């Protein structure tokens, strides 16, 4: 009687064990088909990588890379990552403010000047001495006259991404490092923004260090016949410390 080839049996057993361990690893890290973790998908009968990629807007190459797949074979019940890990970017992905979250910085103010290459701002007309209001909760990161061309300037940081600038004020009512609330008076309108002496506030919005169109942020609060002409350039602030363009 011929004895079985134990070497071949051993190889087959090891192969099956490795295959089983691979499946367990995917399910353990990403939940189960009954309650898959966010960013994962439970493979169903008839699925393939191409269809799954189309469904979630990712490439087959990414699916293979994220799930450590050597080939195209997948099985029903297998968990696949279908979204790049966002653990490190979850905070930064939050929007600092919605499109309507900024308050008009001058009550009943009127937009009298849209963006131009010379000012890189909008101007909001109001009687001299009118209150300038914080557009949202935040902290004053600059208050002074050290930046040429901006008069008495205030910068308020609302989040890591969002800053608003209020320039050519008559007076500054709060100082650097002050925490302010939305709608709180922080300055008064001056008359140094315009050559004709008309009192107005120079207002800017910066997102992630870049100038952005303020119109969506002030949508519904803007009163101007120039509203639909508002544009914003990627202008620049001058570094308050050394005069360098940033």
Q: What is the pLDDT of residues 213-232, one digit of tens each?
A: 776 677 655 554 344 334 33
| pTM for the structure as a whole | 0.53
Give the mean pLDDT of the chain. 73
Q: DSSP code of 208?
A: T
Nearest to 214 by CA among 141, 158, 154, 165: 165
pLDDT at 12 over 80: no
The two three-digit tokens of residue 141, written as one number: 């990161």
Nearest to 242 by CA among 168, 118, 154, 146: 146
Q: What is the pLDDT of residues 14-68, one digit of tens each?
A: 443 333 333 333 333 445 566 666 778 888 888 999 888 877 777 888 888 888 8
199 close to 190: Cβ distance less than 8 angstroms: yes
The two three-digit tokens of residue 200, written as one number: 């107005």
Dihedral angle at the C-alpha atoms of 101, 103, 109, 112, nearest 10 degrees?
Answer: -40
Q: What is the pLDDT of residues 197-213, one digit of tens each?
A: 899 999 998 888 777 77
Which domains are seen in the chain, by residue range? Answer: 40-81 (3.10.350.10), 102-219 (2.70.70.10)
The two three-digit tokens of residue 237, written as one number: 């602030």
**DSSP per-residue letters across 113-145:** E---TTT-SEEEE--TTPEEE-SSSEEEEEEES
**56 to each of 39, 40, 70, 188, 220, how far by Cα in Å?**
10, 10, 20, 51, 35
Burial pattern 23-55, b for ≥16 Cβ within 10 A else e, equals eeebbeebeeeeebeebbbbbeeebebeebbee
pLDDT of the residue at 164: 94
């Amino acid at each position: 009687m011929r004895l079985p080839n134990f070497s071949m049996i051993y190889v087959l057993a090891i192969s099956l064990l490795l295959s089983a361990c691979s499946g367990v690893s995917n399910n353990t890290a990403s939940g189960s088909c009954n309650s898959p973790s966010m960013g994962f998908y439970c493979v169903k009968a008839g699925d393939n990588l191409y269809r799954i990629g189309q469904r979630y807007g990712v490439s087959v190459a990414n699916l293979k890379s994220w799930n450590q797949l050597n080939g195209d074979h997948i099985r029903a019940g297998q968990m696949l990552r279908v979204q790049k890990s966002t653990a490190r970017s979850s905070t930064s992905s939050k929007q600092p403010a919605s499109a309507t979250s900024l308050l008009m910085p001058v009550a009943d103010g009127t937009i009298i000047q849209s963006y131009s290459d010379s000012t890189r701002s909008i101007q909001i007309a109001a009687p001299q001495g009118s209150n300038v209001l914080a557009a949202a909760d935040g902290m004053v990161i600059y208050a002074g006259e050290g930046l040429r061309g901006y008069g008495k300037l205030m910068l308020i940081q609302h989040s890591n991404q969002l800053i608003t600038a209020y320039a050519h004020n008559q007076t500054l009512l709060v100082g650097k490092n002050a925490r302010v609330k939305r709608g709180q008076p922080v300055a008064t309108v001056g008359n140094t923004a315009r050559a004709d002496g008309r009192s107005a506030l120079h207002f800017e919005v910066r997102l992630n260090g870049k100038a952005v169109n303020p119109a969506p942020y002030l949508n519904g609060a803007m009163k101007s016949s120039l509203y639909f002409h508002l544009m914003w350039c990627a202008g620049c602030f001058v570094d308050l410390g050394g005069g360098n363009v940033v």
